[in-house]
Structure 1
């Protein structure tokens, strides 16, 4: 069995749609970082998205664990023209509502759809499972990337997956038994 411990990066405090923008995380709550680090398996491998908010969070919790190279396929949803805009400032509110209410093929202008995000993250997970079978992996990623995997584990549609909270510095553990995914705790705050 392989276990993935999905950790959402530290908070950015941005009040906008942050996808591929490379903005830093606030990792000043050292007590919370220490609790998170202690909660995670000590012999797990650590991988992260290549965006600085994820890499810095991964570096903060790695400790003596082995750190794998960053993986761009673990990035957040690419919001395209909506990037770094507040929800209420997006000119095409109908398309924005469809993106969140009917996730699938709807995409932001010059961005990616839910199905595209899911396929990208699935590729990264498949590579990691193939390279490190039976290992525990800590994957520091983003809200959307984590939800793609929650969707698979729970075998629900994307809209239902979006109903789950994924807080900053939370842990979502998913287990691969070689045939299917099983969900442990979702959005656990150590």
Structure 2
């Protein structure tokens, strides 16, 4: 009986430069701080040397992937997917949550953070759908391979929701640190429904 095991190595990008607590970055294309060489080296040591490398289309994921690969001394070619971008917070991007509190916009959001859509943006629930569609594409196209995905906290939460069959509301409970690693496996076995396994989250 044949089994195809596809392993997703999810890495959250390096911290945004001059990161401010409470600032909403979303899909803004900002630079990242790659000075933590020890952490980059630790990630490189854990990742497979033969893998498909995937990022979002935002530069902080591409730069993080390149920095990790340099520590691994492995030449890579990354595949960038817009579907793996962070949640689009629309007109809220660049503001802080304190700004929204003062404007009265955050109250409704905190009542239902998974389903409320920021002005000109998207809800986390909608984001989960686009991310999960992309993950399905990846495990079908690269079945049986290692896929290193350098992405965003929201993206990784969406991938975990897919693997664990969680609602968007439940997925928001995961804390995903910058330069952390989460490993998920997808299984295809003859005569059985597809299945998932979680090897580790945020380590």
TM-score relative to the length of structure 1: 0.91
Q: Does 1:144 align with 2:157?
A: no
Give 2:56's match in structure 1, choosing from 39, 49, 56: 49
Partner of 2:80: 70
Shift of 1:118: 0.9
Q: Does 1:93 align with 2:106?
A: yes
Shift of 1:71: 1.1
Q: Does 1:6 align with 2:10?
A: yes
Q: Does 1:124 align with 2:131?
A: no
1 or 2, which has the higher strand percentage?
Answer: 2
Any idea what the Cα deviations from partners look like across 1:72-110, whole Å, max 9, x if unmatched? Answer: 11100000011111111112122221342xx13x21111
Any idea what the Cα deviations from partners look like across 1:130-173, whole Å, max 9, x if unmatched? Answer: 22111110000001010001112222222222221100000011
Partner of 2:183: 173
* Equivalences, count: 185
Structure 2 alignment gaps of length 5 or more: 189-193
Task: Give the aligned CA root-mean-square deviation in angstroms.
Answer: 1.4
Task: Determine which structure has more spread, i.e. the larger CA radius of gyration.
Answer: 2
Give me the whole-angstrom Cα distance separating, in 2, the residues matched to 1:14 and 1:20: 16
Post-superposition, which runs of at least 4 consecutive aligned residues in structure 1 deviate over 4 A?
none
TM-score relative to the length of structure 2: 0.86
What pairs with 1:25-64 in structure 2 (closer than 5 Å)? 25-62=32-69, 63-64=73-74
Q: Which moved more, 1:7-16 or 1:149-158?
A: 149-158
Judge conservation of contact 2:185–2:199 (CA < 8 Å) in 1: yes
Structure 1 alignment gaps of length 5 or more: none
Give 2:198's match in structure 1, choosing from 174, 183, 188: 183
Give me the whole-angstrom Cα distance separating, in 2, the residues matched to 1:167 and 1:37: 17
